[in-house]
Structure 1
Amino acid sequence: MLTSVLFDLDGTLLDTAGDFMEIIQAMRADRGLAAVDPDRVRPTVSNGSVGMICAAFDMRPDQPGFDELREDFLARYDQHLAVFTRPFPGISPLLDWLDEQQLPWGVVTNKLSRFSIPLMEAMELAGRCRSLVCPDQVTHSKPHPEPLLKACSDMGVEPRHSVFVGDHLRDIQAGRSAGMATVAALYGYLPVGDDPATWEATHSINTATDLRPWLEQRIQEK
């Protein structure tokens, strides 16, 4: 039985890597550094600013200068968070279909509210999203189940009748801990060397378009 669908944000619902790469390349250029290979940074997007700075500047978080780089990165992102970002292919028709089916959907992310809310607004998704849960709204972030349970509470649905879709192991862990079915989005920002087959997700999809047939099956199980 299916009553709601929850999505991770970066790497699942929205392809945000373009904006991050634009910022990183500008930061490197300002420091007299050559452009970095996007393929080096893209797999780290799901690990947030820390992961991207580590990859882009070959640094550890405990090294001198790291905090300054991260602050610069976040300040630039404040002004540059919806220039190249787009829904992943297949997401827009999928959300249209969910709305037509009157199936509420929401977003659970480890991205702070200061970025997530204006990003969702810029993508014209904020008014359609029934719940947006960010780490600064809860005590524990993913992989803890608390954010997912809050989203279900916001939407008035039971976790056991919900599905969580994400592109990182922490998403699948959070969904499983919350008692939800889980879907691994293999088109997202998969960390190098990570094997999604070991995540123990309920289902996996290669494109967002692949999700609808699987959801239709679950609806028919009512």
Structure 2
Amino acid sequence: MPHGRLLFDFDAVLFDVDGTLVDSLEMIVRGLGDTFERFAGVRPPPETILRQIGKPLTDQVGLFLSYEPTDEQVLEMSAYAIERFTVHEELERLFQPAVDCLRLLHRQGVRTALVTSKSTVELNAFLTRFEGAPYVDATVCASDVHQPKPHPESALRACEILGVRPERAAMIGDSIYDLRCARQAGLTAVAVAYGAGLRYELLNEQPDLLIETPEALLAWTETAFLQTPCRERS
């Protein structure tokens, strides 16, 4: 279990989605692989695709093209990728202890947000099937900001919506983009090592905490509230 600050020290906790709350990596790898194969004529190995997770879809879809796509082509490729994600949706699994962490925080009066590189279309589709949706106070996706992660705008926007100061918030994510976003925004950066990010790359970002498993994330949360009364939600 990680040491240092407890989650009760914060007024808000921001969560990444893919690789943090849900194991969607196989779904994304297959969906992007289908997209690259159709539009670029190549299917990169899974480990190559995994390294792109955390970037907005509009940045991902044109990576292996031999030409610079137009805005219209990017939209077409993005729409196709979303269709393919839907086809492979059955591969998505909850990290149940991480979702339980989200639920516990919300019930204890800590404000919560999802901060994701998904587009509005992707996020809305996800929320319809996400059992943790009732415990989310705010969402910020790539469509909501001018500069998505790793730029700090997404985290700062979430803090603004939640009405908390950045220094009173933590951000939990599995990629270097999450950690850079948190750090530049002035939030406590919490890395989880069970998603797409390589452990040594996460450590190179010098997170405030690194948590190895979803179970450890929940244990850290439970420890924070073990002897602490529930806050009033305003």
* TM bin (shorter chain): 0.7 to 0.9
- Which residue is equivalent to 1:183? 190
Q: Which moved more, 1:204-213 or 1:179-188?
A: 204-213
SS in 2 for 1:184: strand
Q: TM-score, normalised by structure 2?
A: 0.74
Residue 139 and residue 167 in structure 1: after superposition, are their counterparts in 2 closer, same or farther (change >3 A)? same
Rounded Cα–Cα distance in structure 2 between residues aligned with 1:102 and 1:2: 10
Write the deviation string for residues 40-99 of structure 1: whole angstroms up to 9, x where unpaired. Answer: 433332235454774xxxx3x4x1497769834632424644432222242222223223
1-structure distance, mates of 2:205, 2:37: 38
Partner of 2:147: 140
- Alignment of 1:165 with 2:176, yes or no, is no
TM-aligned CA deviation for residue 158 of structure 1: 2.3
Distance in 2, Cα, partners of 1:20 & 1:141: 19
Output the amino acid matched with 1:177. Answer: Q
Say whether 1:202 aligns with 2:208.
yes
Could you tell me the TM-score, scaled by structure 1's length?
0.78
- Residue 4 of structure 2 is matched in structure 1 by none
Q: 1:119 to 1:39 in 2, by over 3 A?
A: same
- Unpaired runs of at least 5, structure 2: 1-8, 230-234
User: What does 1:114-129 correspond to in 2, within 5 Å?
Assistant: 114-129=121-136
CA distance in 2, matches of 1:40, 1:184: 21
Corresponding residue of 1:113: 120
Is 1:71 the counterpart of 2:76? The answer is yes
Residue matched to 2:157: 150
The amino acid that maps onto 1:2 is F
Per the alignment, do residues 170 and 46 of structure 1 end up closer, same or farther by CA in structure 2, a change over 3 Å counting? closer
Per-residue displacement from partner, 1:8-45 (whole Å, max 9, x unpaired)? 122212222222233355558879x8976434433332
Q: Give the unaligned 5+ runs of structure 1.
A: none
1:103 partner amino acid: V
In the alignment, the residues of structure 2 paired with residue 141 and residue 84 of structure 1 have an alpha-carbon distance, to the nearest angstrom, of 26
Maintained 8 Å contact 1:21/1:38: yes
Partner of 2:14: 6
Change (3 A) 1:73 1:21: farther
1:171–1:35 CA distance, 2 compared to 1 (3 A): closer
The percent of aligned pairs where both chains have the same amino acid is: 24
Deviations, residues 127-171 of structure 1 (Å, cap 9, x unaligned): 321111012212222222221121112122222121101112221
